[in-house]
Amino acid sequence: MESSASLADKLASKTASNNSLDSSSKSSSLGSKHGQNGVLRDTPFAYLDGEEDQDQKNDVTYVCPYRGPVFGALTITNYRLYFRSLPLRDQEPPVVVDVPLGVIARVEKIGGATSRGENSYGIEIFCKDMRNLRFAHKQQNHSRRTVFEKLQTNAFPLSYSGRLFAFAHAAAASAVNGGSSGWDGWAVYEPLAELRRLGVPNDMWRATKLNESYTICDSYPAVWAVPKAASDDFLRRVAQFRSRCRLPVLSWMNPRTQATITRCSQPLVGVSGKRNADDETYLSYIMEANAQSDKLTIMDARPSANAIANKAKGGGYESEDAYKNVEINFLDIHNIHVMRESLRKVKEACFPTTDDSKWQTAIDNTLWLKHIRCILAGAVRIVDKVETMSTSVVVHCSDGWDRTAQLTALSMLLLDPHYRTVRGFEVLIEKEWLSFGHKFQQRIGHGDNKHSDADRSPVFLQFIDSVWQVSQQFNNAFEFNEHFLITIVDHLYSCRFGTFLCNTEAERVTEDLKHKTTSLWTHINSSLDQYLNPLFPSFTQGAELVLRPIASVRALRLWKGLYCRWNPGLCVPQHGCQRTRELLSKQDQLFKHVNELRLKSNNRSNSMQTTTRLASPMH
C-alpha cells in the first residue's frame, strides 16, 4: 500500500492502521495491533500477534509507476511485505508499501547476470488486488535470492508444506489474551436460529441434520430445511440425481406468503434426457409448500447454450414436459473462466497507467459491468417472482456453488432488510457462501503458487461489487458503508482470519477453524463504528422494505474506490461518509437547540400565565 504517512503517524495509535484501504491509499484495513505480544518493534509498523520477521534488506529500490524509483528498506514477515523509502530531503514524506502476503498471486525474477540497465535486476510481484509491485536489487550483494525465497515460502505456505498465517495469528493472540478474544465472530451464524427467524419449522417445512456427518453431500452444510413431505430416505434418493448430490434445499422464505427460494445443482439428465420420478416429485413438494401459487419457477443462471452443452457431460436442465407446472428461465450469466478474463482486463485498464481518451472504451471492453448487470438482473427477476407473483423459485447453475450463490444471496439481500444490517450481512455470507460450499480456497488460491489454476475466479468479488452497486442506488437502505465491503474484500485475500479459508463447511470442521483461527467478524464487530452508514436510520419503512434496483449498465459504474485505489490519477478521495456524519451531528445539535428554545419559550409562557392569574382581582 503506498502511503505518505509519517513514522509518527504510523505509531500514533494501536488502531490507526485498522482503517480500510481508501482510495487515496493512506490507510488500510489490513493494519495490525501495536506491537507483538505488547512489545513495540524497532520498525515503522505495528506487528500482529504471531507475526515474525523473515528477512530485511536496506538497499532495495521500489520502482513506483507514479513517482519513479525510490530507495529504501524492505522487510518481509510471515504476514506482510513492507517497504519504506528513505526521503532524500527534509519534510519529504516517505513512500510506504504494505502488502499482506496472502494478496500476492505470483512472484517473478526480472533480469539476470547480464542485465545492465538501471533497476533492470530484481523482483516483480503480481497481486490479487489489482496492483503489481516491482523492486530492484543490486546484483553484487545477492539480496534478491533470499527475498525471492522468503516471499515464495511465506506467500505460498501450502505449496511448501507450511500453514497459513491465520493459525499462527490466532495461537499467538490466544496466548496473549489468555484464550479470550472478547466477542466471538464464529457465533454470528447459528443455522437453526436463522431458520427460526424465517419461520421454520412450520406445517410445510422442517429442519434436518441428515447431513450432519457430510455423507449425503460433502459440499453442503450439516443442517438443511426441506419440505416436510420429504422423508430422509427420499432425500437420499433425490440427491443422487443432482450434480455433486446438491439437491434443492431452502435458502429463504417469505414469512407473509410462504413463497421460497431454494438452491441446488443441475439435474443429471444427460444427452438421453433421463428422468427421475423422485426428483420430479420433490420439486412438486416445493411448489405445493406454497399455497399462494400453483407454479414453480426454475432460474438457471447459465446461458441456455451452456446448459445444453452440459448434457454432453451428464448434466443439463429440467424439461418443462417432465416437470409439471414448472417454468424454466436462463439468466445468461457466464462461467468462471469468462469472469476471470474480464477482471484481468479491468486490471489492465486501471493499473498502472490509463489513457484518458480511451478510458470509457477500455472499461466497456472489459465487459465487467455487463456481467454485473446480468447478476443484478437475475436477482431482480427472482425478487419479482417471489414478492410480486408469490411464486417459489429454485435457483441453480451447474454445480450450484458459484452463480447460484450470487443469485440467492443477492435476491435475499433485496427481499429481506435483515441482511442489509452488519450482522445480517455476515449471516448471509456465512449461510449462502460458506456453509453451501463456495470453493473459496480454489477460487482465491489461498497460500498456493498455482497462479494459472483454471479454478480461480472472482465470483465472490462480483457479489460484493453487486451489493455496492445496489447501495449506490439505495444509499440509506444499508446499515454498513463502503468501507465495510472493502474490508471484506481485503481480508478475502489476506489469510489473517479463518473465515474464508477452505472450500466447504466439512473442511472447516476438519481443520477446526473455529478454535484454531479468528473470525473476520470478530475483528469487524469489535470496532463497528467505522463500518456504519450514518444515513441508515433515515431509511423509510413500508414499500421500500423490498429493493428493486435498476439493472441496466446505464445505472452501473465501475467501483473506483476498490479497483482504482492504487492509481492516484483515478482514485477519488472518499470523504462523503465523514462529511455526512458531520452534517448529521450538526443537525442533531440544531434539533437539540430548537428543543431547548421551545422548552424555554413554554416555561416563559407558563410563568406569564401564572403571574397573570395571581394578579387578577378574581383570585
- Kindly state the DSSP code that residue 414 receives in the 8-state scheme: H
Q: Helix, strand or coil for residue 265? A: coil
397, 502, 564, 571: the catalytic one is 397
Residue 227 · residue 253 · CB < 8 Å: no
Q: Is 291 annotated as a binding residue?
A: no
Residue 477 · residue 539 · CB < 8 Å: yes
Q: Is 571 a catalytic residue?
A: no
Q: Is 464 annotated as a binding residue?
A: no
In angstroms, how far is CA 436 from the centroid of its own chain?
15
Secondary structure of 470-511 as H, E, C letters: HHHHCCCCCCECHHHHHHHHHHHHHCCCCCCCCCCHHHHHHH
Looking at 416-473, list the stretches that DSSP marks H as alpha helix, in order from N- to C-terminal side. Answer: 422-428, 440, 459-473
d(CA 558, CA 350): 10
Q: Is 313 annotated as a binding residue?
A: yes
Q: Which residues are 224's β-sheet partners? A: 208
Q: What distances in angstroms separate CA 566 from CA 16, 181, 271, 421, 468, one per listed residue?
A: 20, 33, 49, 29, 19
Q: Is 400 annotated as a binding residue?
A: yes
Q: Is 37 annotated as a binding residue?
A: no
Q: Is 490 annotated as a binding residue?
A: no
Q: Is 12 annotated as a binding residue?
A: no
d(CA 8, CA 117): 36
Q: What distances in angstroms separate CA 213 from CA 167, 188, 217, 240, 503, one per listed residue?
A: 25, 22, 9, 17, 16
d(CA 359, CA 563): 14
Q: Is 399 annotated as a binding residue?
A: yes
Write down the residue that cell numbers 382581582 correspond to. Answer: 617
* Number of CB atoms found within 10 A of residue 244's CB: 18
DSSP assignment of 286-326: HHHT-TT-S-EEEEE-S-HHHHHHGGGGT-----TTTSTTE
Q: Is 310 annotated as a binding residue?
A: yes
Burial environment of residue 348 by CB neighbours within 10 A (0 to 12, 13 to 18, 19 or more): middle
Q: Which residues are annotated as a binding site for substrate?
A: 310-313, 335-336, 397-403
Give the residue numbers of the binding site.
310-313, 335-336, 397-403
Q: Which residues are catalytic, by number?
A: 397
